[in-house]
Amino acid sequence: MPRFALPRVLPLAFLLLGTISPSLAAQHGALDEGRISLRSVELRPAAAPIEIDGSVDDPGWVGATRITGFVERTPREGAVPPVETQVLLTYDETNLYVAFIARDPDPAAIRAALQPRDQLWNDDWVGVLLDPYGDGSLGHYFLSNPIGVQADLQMTPRSEDSSIDFVYTTAGRITEEGFIVEMAIPFRSLRVPDREVQDWGIMLVRTYPRSNRHYLTWPAWSRNSPCQLCELASLEGIRGIHSGGNLEILPSAVVSQGGRLRDSSDPDSFESGSVQLQPSLGMKYTFQRGWSAEATVNPDFSQVESDAAQIDVNTTFALFFPERRPFFQEGMDLYMTPLDVFYSRSINAPQAATKLTGRAGRTSIGYVGARDEHTPFVVPFEEQTAVLQAGRSFTNVLRVQHNLGSSHVGALVADRRLEGGGSGTTASADAQIRFGEMYSLSVHLVASRTQEPDDPRLSEGLPDLTFGSDENTAAFDGESFAGHAGFVRFARDARTFSWNVLYMEASPTYRADAGFQSRNDFRRATGWTGVTLYPNRPWLERASASLFGGSYWNFGGVRTQDVFAPGVSVTLPRQTMVGLNTEFRQEVFRGIRLDGIRDHSVFVNSNFSGAVRGSLSFGTGRRVARTLAVPEVGEGWNATASATIQPSQQVVLQPSVSYQALSRGNGEEIFSGFIARTRFSYQYNRELNLRLVLQYNDFSRRLDIEPLLMYQINPFTIFYVGSTHGSTQFDDRGFRGTDRQYFAKFQYLVRR
């Protein structure tokens, strides 16, 4: 596989294992069904149609390429796995077919929950990772648990994106000898190069979670290589497949009725709105040469489940939330850069949006354009972030990336312009270069140009301060200024000894209006190192120790923070991890030097059974009270507990609670409170799900209740009906409703 790297030497232990393993004898016995080696496999087309039903008795599987010889990556790298796995591979003109035959000495111990998509990570699962271009730059990961529940990922050498959804078919069943999973992966669901004979990358994976979580792969994947895409085998021989010329139409309609308090101080002023119908239409066309164009008009970009609340009572910076909207999920791997110069949630309520994605040879190109109805502003300063709302805007983003195997160089331009005046533009160049298996260099340089709106009403929530050498004011008064940001990271990621050094800065006038930048006016130089040992004893699987440290300065030359943070962790039987972290820090905040800051924390995570899993963390120390008029160091502590309880295959209960408190040295409380959240899910079958979310925020005295009934045929053909109910606890009247919405949505994917 082409890559920008030094020659890689496969560990001798893996070569010897592959030479003497009985499973390789099975591979050689199947040579008449397709050529197989340690790093490559050749397919032949299916002899007959295949029905995806969890059985491999179809005539189409006769003569399919058979792969065995899986190797354990964790916990015992290079070992023969404790269970046997066979995989059948074949294809026809529309689909790649994959069948896993997973043996298990105790089928009753197999973990398999009947839950919605992407909820299988604590189960047994199998997966196939595909790189259609075969150069290690982009992979599509298709997974299933033993009863056919799906999950999918999109992967680059530097990131994973679990929010993306692919359309494919799975079926699975538990047998007397283990389980069988069948997959049919449409070529139209992939980005497939336009060539007659395909040469892809492939890796097959199985997890076996019992006392330890065994991670099994074919081909072998060394823990000295953090880049999974760099370790794929070659999948050869696919010919004459259909790629491109596909049209997808996604119409939808939402019926809703909302209501809210007219006066937030009067609990009796609740007023219901009218019933509204919102139709929308999305279209996507994939061209023959791997390019795709996508457009959506009047999209419904609402979320059916709110973001989990985060405690922000003692932070002065904006919080980052992940993207969940389908239009902004597919193809967004291309826009991921070390500095977030494009953050799709900066497009808040688009009236229309378009995307163009394609590849010419080794060069990938992407474009996103949108007209936003309600534009958010994330305005960074040295010690705080201001979040504002403006009117309509236009956003345009262009990305070009040249792939060098597992390395790349690229450029990105993002521009957002308000309808009433004002704009923000960033232009950036980035590179990630891998050296050998273990070393990598990441660089990102950004220049920004900001033209503020000339409308002080928009900036009424901004602080009264100045910034930059020209003493610019925070108010939106039409000022124009330029800024810059930079990121450099050199790292070694390996089995036993890893480290990285990082330098990052953002000038006082740097802004990324179409991205996410919560602070500026800083320079940061930090380093981290870690050592991991693998005793693989019955009482201890793994032990790690790490050390982090560094300093921050502002552009005025003031050293604003020094930090030193050691930590240790161990992995125990029953998939249990215990860790202890300590941080010592001193900083300057609002011109006041704050010494003696320290934090000590301990955490426990355990997947000790298929029915009950949980995590617990506790921290205490001397912490900065940042929201006081005069900041000071107080005594603080926090605790978080969460669990996943699965009393049956169809029912999952996920409670969690987070508590945080801070007080002065004399015991006077500065703040305290908690956020409690519970998610209940009942999955009647693969398609029908009932879900209820309850969340109480003690800091705001707000209770949220969100029931939802959903019928989902595939990730895009969905019908659901639900509601959201927000209530606030008034001192003398208990809880009263502050906002409410009832909604129903129907969405149907048409593929031509």
| CA distance readout (Å), 534 to 3, 71, 531, 571, 574 | 30, 17, 10, 9, 16
Share of residues in the chain with pLDDT > 70 (%): 90
Res 32: pLDDT = 35
Two tokens at 169?
Answer: 């078919």
- Classified by CATH at the fold level, domain 12-239 comes out as Immunoglobulin-like (2.60.40)
* Predicted confidence (pLDDT) per residue in 559-589, tens digit: 999 999 999 999 999 999 999 999 999 999 9
Angle at 729 between CA 725 and CA 731, to 5 degrees: 160
Do the Cβ atoms of 198 and 132 come closer than 8 Å?
Answer: yes
Res 29: pLDDT = 31
Q: How far apart are CA 748 and CA 255, in angstroms?
A: 15
* Predicted confidence (pLDDT) per residue in 134-150, tens digit: 888 889 999 999 999 99
CB atoms within 10 A of CB 739: 16
Q: How far apart are CA 368 and CA 546, in angstroms?
A: 40
Res 319: pLDDT = 56
Two tokens at 61?
Answer: 């599987």
CB atoms within 10 A of CB 174: 18
In which residue ranges of the chain is pLDDT below 50? 1-34
Res 17: pLDDT = 30
At position 482, the amino acid (one-letter code) is A
Q: How far apart are CA 30 and CA 7, in angstroms?
A: 31
Res 316: pLDDT = 54
Two tokens at 16?
Answer: 């010897």
- Dihedral-angle region of residue 134 (phi above 0 means left; psi in -120 to 50 means alpha; beta otherwise): left
**DSSP β-bridge partners for residue 170:** 183
Res 146: pLDDT = 97
Two tokens at 359?
Answer: 């590849």
User: How many Å is the Cα radius of gyration of the chain?
Assistant: 27
Helix (H) or strand (E) holding 28: helix 22-28
Two tokens at 4?
Answer: 């920008």
In the chain, where are the structural domains located? 12-239, 245-299+704-724+735-752, 315-520
Give per-residue burial for 520-534: e unless 16+ CB within 10 Å, then b: bbbbbebebebebeb
